Amino acid sequence: MPKLALLGGKKVREKPFPPHPVLGEEEKKQVLEVLDSGLLSGFIAKPGEHFFGGPKVRQLEDEFKEYFGVKHAIAVNSATAGLHAAVAALNLSPGDEIIVSPFTMSASASAILMNNCIPVFADIQEDIFCIDPRKIELAITPQTKAIIVVHLFGQAAEMDEIIAIAKKYNLYVIEDAAQAIGATYKGRYCGTIGDVGVFSLNQHKTITTGEGGIVVTNNDEIAQKVRLIRNHGEAVVAELGITDIVNVLGWNYRMTEIEAAIGIAQFRKLDKLNNHRIELANYLTEKLSQFTDYFDLPVVRPYNKHVYFVYPFKYKEKNIGIPRDLFVKAVQAENIPITAGYNRPLYLEPLFQKKIVYGTQGCPFSCAFYKGNVKYDKGICPVAERMYERELIITGICRYPLTKHDIDDLINAFEKVLENIGELKEAYIKV
């Protein structure tokens, strides 16, 4: 029986995995066109054509509009900026509450605080890790004005139920589709089902501009407000004759021409890259099916297209006999990229525990505008906490240009660790 690398044995895999993202001649060609033009940013904070950015930015927006079948696509310099602008564009007020999942990247909630609104966390579903519609309804108060739905890991949340709740209580719905570009729910693209959606083009995403994001909506008023927020709107509203200046403040969320150029080339590869992820994920599921005594494999709703930004599965500690984190550490030592858990539930971070954002007095939580009493105690979202602490494992091994041979290395590492559980447990007890 081969000795575990964690205990001094040879690794299952010695060579490193190829890097992400994969950039090629298409991206170079697009960037060279920008360099040859000499126009690195086409934005000017004045009324007129240049208020909307340069030709590459507008081309990228047009391609997003066509692909997703939406009226408006607005390029920004990050998905965080997009979420901030999306919340602001709803004309919400300080002290308004927005319900959001705690099991997400920090920006899903910090965008709420950027607008002096209050994040209220609702727990996730056990199987698909997205926000639980039943928990959303329980979290609604007279202060609730919106829901931010995070389509986590590449699969859609239960949008029909969420939209029905939003209509019942007259709430806006923002879709954080940062990890789900190209994913679908009942034939509709994630990001296009609610009032406004946000995609990420960050370095680590399926397609990338380095940093960047796209806001999509079919609502003309929301689109106009997002464009104003993107480009120093307070400097142009008078000349444009715009009277709705709520939340129009001097942010610079503009995307550069070079970023947009890379985005154009990357976006044209989206279907290829997503199909590659799906193929490898299906292969990984097939191979892991021999280990269902030890893991709960991904659940995919039959009406969803899961695009596997990462591949998530659950660990059965009782059946394996060692803590999840030790198992993950042993697999990582074999040079296989897996991660124990995901982000800590956001309400456990110091910002929420201390309720300190603006100044020293606890604003916006303590401001006179806020009439609620939000709680961030440990235990408010037990499913998210359990996934973080004990059960969830994720891997990014399904991405392009990895192959089934790379998946086989993961399976070999799992087999090796599982065959050596007794040795690993003994070493763990000694430590």
Burial bucket for residue 133 (CB in 10 Å: 0-12, 13-18, 19+): buried
Does residue 394 sit in helix, strand or coil? strand
* φ, ψ dihedrals at 238, nearest 5°: -65, -50
β-strand pairing of 295-296 with 184-185: unpaired
Does residue 80 sit in helix, strand or coil? helix
Give the integer Cα–Cα distance in Å for 13 and 407.
Answer: 11
Note whether 7 and 428 are within 8 A (CB).
no
Q: Provide the sign of the torsion angle of the four alpha carbons 62, 66, 67, 72, taken in this order.
A: positive
Query: Which residues partner with 8 through β-bridges?
Result: none
Phi-psi region of 170 (alpha: psi -120 to 50; beta: other; left: phi over 0): left
Closest listed residue to residue 142, CA positions, set 178, 158, 118: 118
Burial bucket for residue 155 (CB in 10 Å: 0-12, 13-18, 19+): buried
Q: Which residues of 401-411 are buried (b: 16+ CB within 10 A; e: fewer)?
A: ebeeebbebbb
Q: Which single residue is written with the structure tokens 């564009």? A: 89
Q: Which residues of 35-52 are buried (b: 16+ CB within 10 A; e: fewer)?
A: eeeeeebbbbbeeeeebb
Note whether 259 and 209 are within 8 A (CB).
yes
Q: Which single residue is written with the structure tokens 């319900």? A: 99
Catalytic residues: 205
Residue 181 gets which letter from DSSP?
T
